[in-house]
Structure 1
Amino acid sequence: MNQTNSAIDLNACAQLDDQLSQRFIALDPLGYFLIRVDVAAAELVVEHYGNTIDEQGLARDPDSGEVIACRKGGPRTPTAVLRGRTAKELGIALCEGDGNHPLSRLDHAMYLGRELQKAEQCLREGSPYVQD
């Protein structure tokens, strides 16, 4: 089998990703996830937070009704915390686990898969992880 080498234009890929990140995203009415790396435990940590979506498409705290800020939001209690060693382990737990599947949108599941892969790579390399 012949294999051809094709150079990947990393600049073009980064520009495409930036452009795609600017598109409208419908929020998942079942909530959102915060992902972090626990280096000491050598695990990925996923916290799920519930929300409601208002008529303007804004995420609101289901208890207070306040809009959930992307940055500098107040402390909230997660509805679930999952820990795992790999992106695959957590992906399976989120989609096939105990029946509590806090995902209702395929685009949200795809996003989580990408982010979990990125977090796993950071855990392996010992580099900082920042969720997109």
Structure 2
Amino acid sequence: MSEMKTAINRTAIDNELSKRHINLDPGGYFIIYLDREEGLICAKHYNNLVDDEGFALHPETGERLSAKCQDNDQVATTIYSGRTAKELCVQLFEETQPCPVTHFNHAAYLGREFLRAEIALEQGSEYIQD
């Protein structure tokens, strides 16, 4: 199988898996971004309420929050940052007590996203959180 075909298959697999529903972590959620000037991967942590179906709710109105909405007037509880994905994971999962991540699938997701962000930082390419 050619390298290009393998890359396309991997992209298709990831795109399909990104469509699945995952219950949100009651410990909160993260908005990941790059601070290129400082050479950092950053993750803003937000607390959230989660309904019975696993969707985030606005803490004051009780309305479901959209993953696409960036202007939900929530205030980040903490901003984590690191120069590498590993540094950020150690800070978040090993050094922060209590750890704000309470679901294994959320921890795995964050590790993948931090690595994607690190690659984008190294390559100077755009990073968009999945």
| TM-score, structure 2 normalization | 0.89
Which of 84, 87, 103 lines up with 2:85 in the alignment?
87
Q: CA deviation at 1:24?
A: 2.2
Matched, 1:27 2:24: yes
For the residues of structure 2 that align with 1:23 and 1:74, how far apart are their CA atoms?
23
Identity over aligned residues, as a percent? 38
Partner amino acid for 1:67? R
Q: Structure 1: which amino acid aligns with 2:11?
A: A
Superposed, which structure 2 residues align to 1:1-132 within 5 Å?
Answer: 7-8=2-3, 9-72=6-69, 73-132=71-130
* Structure 1 residues without counterparts, runs of 5 or longer: 1-5
Instruction: Give the C-alpha shift of residue 63 in structure 1.
Output: 3.5
**Max Rg structure:** 1
Unaligned stretches of 5+ residues in structure 2: none
Aligned length: 127
CA contact (8 A) 1:118 1:129 kept: yes
Distance (Å, rounded) in 1 between the aligned partners of 2:18 and 2:49: 22
Larger mean CA deviation between 122-131 and 58-67 belongs to 58-67
Secondary structure, aligned partner of 1:120 = helix
Runs of 4+ in structure 1 off by over 4 angstroms are: none
